[in-house]
Structure 1
Amino acid sequence: MNNTHQKLPNFTQAITQLIAQPSISSSQASWDQSNESVITLLATWFETLGFTITIQAVPMVKGKFNLLAKLGSGDGGLLLAGHSDTVPFDENRWLSDPLKVTDNDNKLFGLGSCDMKGFFAFILQVCQQIDLKLLKKPLYILATADEETTMAGARFFANSGVIKPDVAIIGEPTNLVPVIMHKGHMSHKISIKGQAGHSSKPASGVNAIEIMYQVISELFKLREKLNLSYKNEAFDVQTPTMNLGAIRGGDNANRICGHCELDIDMRSLPGMKDEELVSWLSIALQPIAEKYPGRLTINELDPSSPSFQQAPDSDFVSTAEKLSGHSCCAVNYATEAPFIQQLGCQTIVLGPGSIDQAHQPNEYLAHSEISKTEILLTKLIHHYCL
């Protein structure tokens, strides 16, 4: 190991430094933070290793940046991608400081340890152990912004089309199992504008809760129709899903409710288009909208994230299965994979840690993941770049 590498942190030091840089993404402005300090840290490390660094501000979101590190020349190669942000946390539910790595019970506890700052610490460690001068194809490292909310970073990068690797790996926590399919995700707010009034004179007002009751009835019918019409046995939840997540309305028992809101999310199967789901939602609620003109509106809460599918018979999938020792699978949650796939590369989701720890208090990465992840990443870089 040369002197240049000695300036760089080892795995535990790297994950500790990354977690110490807060980079929360949230739709609530009071929680939302810039990811610039994480991006700057990654840039410093990979520049030391000889990578060419490009940092871009992500449009439409304040203080958010993507980083692309490139080493090697020519076409194709391997892209290792992940997001630099984390979800918010409830400090009262953590047994340790979320922004400090706590090593206990053969686990490294910390916010983002598996979802997914740890992935970048692994990449750094592996790159220090490989003779990068021998690269025959380029190695790319992408750190995106705002994955936990809008996926703005991945959307922006996909549209820029600056690279076209042969293959890409999104390092979300999958227990190192190659994920080749996942559902899409969209969320909407349904609003009912009623007419407030005194409860003793029901006819003098329009009760928004009563209209919302009719809306919910139609949503249940739509959900049942989707469950009967669409199924994919690769998923443990084999049908599309619709969740009624939050409802708000009214202010007092003796007042006619003047306004009611319902937040829902829908998760589509591969092959279903987002615009189809939105159309079905609109059609289902059209009779109520016509019955109460001007009182029902449907608005998108966050930009939708499409479903993802990589052909199971592709060379990349068979290679990932062989090198990881795991058969490919499908998952119910959404990732940046469909956006990275737009670069024109074969794409899978594969990373250390369990999704069961993601977004949870006392998030951790088990010690048992460390050597397995380093070995697998080394094999993948050798296979696609050396």
Structure 2
Amino acid sequence: MTAPAFINMYQQLIAEPSISALDPQLNMSNYSTIELLAAWCENLGFQVEITELDSAPGKFNLLAKRGEGEGGLMLAGHTDTVPFDDSRWSYDPFKLSEVDNKLYGLGSIDMKGFFAFVIEAIKQLDTQGAKQAKPIMILATADEETTMAGAQEVAKHQSLKPEFCVIGEPTDMVPVFTHKGHMSTAIRVTGRSGHSSDPARGLNAIEVMHKIIAKLLQLKDTLKNKYSIEHFAIPYPTLNLGHIHGGDNANRICGCCELHLDIRPLPGLSIQELQLLLLEAVKPINDEYPNSVAVIDLHDPIPAFTGTTDSALVKLAEAVSGEQAIAVNYCTEAPFLQQLGCETIVMGPGSIEQAHQPDEFLAMEKIKPSQEKITQLINELCFKTKKAT
């Protein structure tokens, strides 16, 4: 018995809801998706290990391995998807819909579909009689879209030592050798509420937040002017004021105001340094209004992924894809999986422009060339055959 046909795998993966969200009402287990992958991997002769996350009960990682010895290639992806707004989807998010030469479905490119490509590639190589020479590992993680807890726990795996790692996020099969990190932070101002007719009897948290925002905009300019890496389309760290709420009535002094912001650090700018810059920016306001300002991580910060353009894996990926490796502004599990000591790239089917969008889709004309490149990459790194067909 072997894995199902490519499109059938795609259909089954999309049909298993596995949303991860910080809102408990939206958050789901990914176990049904993991079970699917485990069965397909076992049918191809992989030894499969399923592990429940210590930090997120009900969420699971899968590590499948075929072949003995050191090194080899790990093909990695996450099994979770973002939540969706049903009113903005034209199709059922949990049913693979083929319309106008596109495959629609939640996770079609971000990134459940990658597993179908990988398993199909291994099936093809086995059918061709190619002899495996190096270990192949398939890693499927949980909660990439929220905390990246799955990848962080894998990074602590003492005995997992692949030589190479390819993370199949949607890059249109262009290799990515470096990317920015991600910090989501809340700044909470606690004032004193009271009647608006007597401002002196309260402390208006909105007014205090106004002063903080001025400091944050200065920090935004500092980051733009002080740090730069030319590889990136946006060469500096970005700071975005994304969400603010406070107060409850026009005739009441606002007692609490909270601002959520997003910062994208460059490689070389550590999370610790960035957190210090943020604390320094708000310190004068906290000194003026003692103990009124709190800075809170909304989730564990994700460091930037630092790679090089001259690694063996990057050079091979460039040769296979016909594309020069690039830097991107979004972030992935790469900085955590890189901790295993492996050369790491991000490279997978589908366009990042479709990620987190209503009516997410994979363009069908990209299936064949993407499949050929993934198969060639696996062949070059793990099999003795010189060229995959």
Q: What TM-score, normalized to structure 1?
A: 0.97
Find the aligned partners of 2:366 and 2:163 in 1 and give their Cα distance. Answer: 26
- Tell me how far apart the structure 2 counterparts of residues 77 and 37 of structure 1 sit (CA, whole Å): 28
Counterpart amino acid of residue 381 in structure 2: Y
In structure 2, C-alpha distance between the alignment counterparts of 1:50 and 1:23, rounded to whole Å: 26
Amino acid at match of 2:168: G
SS at match of 1:263: strand
2:123 pairs with one of 115, 122, 128: 128
Offset at residue 161 of structure 1 (A) = 3.1
1: CA distance, partners of 2:378 / 2:258: 49
Which 4+ stretches in 1 moved above 2 angstroms? Answer: none
After superposition, the C-alpha distances for 1:211-263 in whole angstroms (9 at most, x for unaligned) are 00000000001111111101111111111000111101001111110100000
Residue number in structure 1 paired with 2:386: none
Choose the corresponding residue for 1:257, options 244, 254, 257. 254
Please point out which of 47, 55, 61 is paired with 2:50.
55
* 1:339 aligned partner, one-letter code: F
Give the equivalent residue in structure 1 for 2:272: 275
Of 84, 91, 95, the residue aligned with 1:96 is: 91
Counterpart CA distance in 1 for 2:88 and 2:4 is 30
Report how far residue 133 of structure 1 moved. Answer: 7.2
Aligned residue among 287, 290, 295 for 1:293: 290
Aligned counterpart for 1:197 among listed residues 194, 197, 216 = 194
In 2, the alpha carbon distance for the partners of 1:67 and 1:373 equals: 24
For residue 56 of structure 1, report the CA deviation from its aligned partner. Answer: 0.5
The equivalent position to 1:151 in structure 2, one of 138, 148, 152, is 148
- Check if 1:37 corresponds to 2:32: yes
2:387 aligned partner: none
Matches within 5 A, 1:198-217: 198-217=195-214
Q: Distance in 2 between matches of 1:269 and 1:99?
A: 36
- Which is further off, 261-270 or 127-136? 127-136
Question: The residue matched to 1:356 in structure 2 has which SS?
Answer: helix
Partners of 1:349 and 1:128 in 2: how far apart?
22
1:266 corresponds to: 263
| Alignment correspondent of 2:11 | 16
One-letter code aligned to 2:282:
L
- 1: distance between equivalents of 2:316 and 2:199? 67
3-state SS of paired residue (1:134)? coil
Residue type at the aligned position of 1:309: T
Alignment of 1:1-386 (within 5 A): 4-5=1-2, 8-131=3-126, 134-386=131-383
Unaligned runs of 5+ in 2: 384-389
One-letter code aligned to 1:259 = C
Deviations 1:180-234 (A, max 9, x none): 1100001111001100011110101100000000000000011111111011111
SS of structure 1 residue aligned to 2:301: strand
Counterpart secondary structure, 1:311: coil
Structure 1: stretches of 5+ with no match in the other structure: none
Counterpart of 1:165 in structure 2: which amino acid? Answer: P
Q: Secondary structure at the match of 2:169?
A: coil
Letter in 1 for 2:307: Q
Q: Deviations over 1:89-142 (max 9, x none)?
A: 011111110000000111100000000010001111111111277211100000
What SS class does the counterpart of residue 354 from structure 2 fall into? coil
Q: Which amino acid aligns with 2:72?
A: G
* Counterpart Cα distance in 1 of 2:288 and 2:238: 27
Q: TM-score, normalised by structure 2?
A: 0.97
Give the fraction of aligned pairs with identical amino acids, expressed as a percent: 52
CA distance in 2, matches of 1:367, 1:162: 39
Give the distance between the partners of 1:309 and 1:213, measured in 2 at CA.
36
- Counterpart residue identity of residue 233, structure 2: D
Work out the number of aligned pairs and report it.
Answer: 381
Task: Tell me how far apart the structure 2 counterparts of residues 383 and 76 of structure 1 sit (CA, whole Å).
Answer: 14
Distance 1:161 1:350 in 2: 25
Distance in 2 of aligned mates of 1:295 and 1:381: 55
SS class of match (1:246): strand
Tell me the amino acid that sits aligned with residue 188 of structure 2: S
- The separation in 1 between residues aligned to 2:161 and 2:307, in whole angstroms, is 16
- 1:88 Cα deviation after fit: 0.3
Deviation of 1:62 (Å): 2.3
Distance 1:67 1:214 in 2: 48
* Letter of the 1:316 counterpart: L
Distance 2:382 2:4 in 1: 24
Segment of structure 1 superposing worse, 376-385 or 185-194: 376-385
Measured in 2, the distance between the counterparts of 1:262 and 1:139 equals 45
Task: Give the deviation of 1:294 after TM superposition.
Answer: 1.3
